[in-house]
């Protein structure tokens, strides 16, 4: 019995972080590309770069490509960045979701 209870607790703890990011599922950027799953998106800080809105990614402020800005506000009031691996760029921005009215 103790073993089954421990297994249930471990499963609940392991699945909890993903539940907070379920809202990423099904999101698309303005060009129609799916943003991502839980592993591709994460909260990030906002920044400004030469008068343009940006987000902090890997320690640098990167501009937000207009065709990657999802036109809905994030439900948690934070900026979020979704990226995917790219063979020559290393990573590419797929979606940016900003807080407030996007």
Checking if the pLDDT of 95 tops 90, the result is yes
Spatial contact of 54 and 7, defined as CB atoms under 8 Å apart: no
What would the pLDDT profile of 2-42 be if each residue is shown by its tens digit? 444 433 333 333 333 444 567 888 899 999 999 976 578 99
Number of Cβ within 10 Å of residue 11's Cβ equals 10
pTM value > 0.85: no
Bridge partners (DSSP) of residue 82 are 41, 95
């Amino acid at each position: 019995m103790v073993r089954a209870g421990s297994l249930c607790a471990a499963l609940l703890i392991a699945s909890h972080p993903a539940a907070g990011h379920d809202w990423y599922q099904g999101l698309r950027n303005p060009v129609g590309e799916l943003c991502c799953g839980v592993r591709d998106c994460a909260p990030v800080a906002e920044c400004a770069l030469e008068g343009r809105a940006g987000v902090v990614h890997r320690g640098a402020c990167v501009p937000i490509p207009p065709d990657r800005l999802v036109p809905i506000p994030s439900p948690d009031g934070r900026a979020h960045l979704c990226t995917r691996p790219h063979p020559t760029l290393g990573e590419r921005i797929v979606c940016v979701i900003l807080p407030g009215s996007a």
